[in-house]
Amino acid sequence: GTLAVESTLGKGSTFVLEFPKKEVFGAWDKIKATDDHGPARETHAPTEERIANGEQSTTILIVEDNSDLRQFLREVLSPLYKVIPAENGARALELLNKLAEGEGQPPELILTDLMMPEMDGYALIEALKADARWQSVPIVVLTARASLPDRLA
């Protein structure tokens, strides 16, 4: 794969990460046989047909206390995905419990900040990993904390 960076002083940076596409035959059975992270979840990636029909079959939970960033992520992702916003970890767990009770589609991806009031991202991740219903859901951490100890935590 490749990684490209464009940076303009005072304006920001853009990072582009590309992975080579490979056809892998028979690998899925091997992955399922060795998966010890709970039951596999079927995902429904957006296709051109689904996008054209306005279907958002994959659900993403966004946990972010900054309302501007939460709204930005919602606007960017909502054309392709069903987005569920939460302002902190405690609210995210409330929403997840409702979804688990059948009040909507559980998320197939969770984007979370680390530094939030009431329940931070660290506590949220611990709670998610302790609950068998959410152990197999991928979590992407969005944070301004850039030090190595923070990233390894």
Domain-embedded: residue 95: yes
Domain of residue 76, residue span = 44-152
Domain holding 62: CATH number? Answer: 3.40.50.2300
Backbone angles phi, psi at 138, to 5 degrees: -65, 145
Q: What is the DSSP letter of 146?
A: -
Q: Is residue 103 part of a domain?
A: yes
- Domain contains 35: no
Is residue 121 within 8 Å of residue 115, measured between CB atoms? yes
Residue 37 lies in a domain: no
Q: Is residue 39 part of a domain?
A: no
Spatial CB neighbours of 32, under 8 Å, sequence gap ≥ 6:
40
**Is 38 inside a domain boundary?**
no
- CA-nearest of 103, 113, 107 to 82 is 107
- Burial of 84 (C-beta count, 10 Å sphere; 0-12/13-18/19+): buried
pLDDT tens-digit map of 59-89: 999 999 998 999 999 988 888 888 999 999 9
Report if pTM > 0.85.
no
Domain total for the chain? Answer: 1
The token pair that represents 48 in the structure block = 């051109």
Beta bridge partners of 14: 6
22 domain residue, yes or no: no
For residue 145, is it within any domain?
Answer: yes
pLDDT tens for each residue of 5-56: 888 888 777 777 666 665 544 444 544 444 455 554 454 555 555 545 555 5
Q: Which residues pair with 139 in a beta bridge?
A: 110
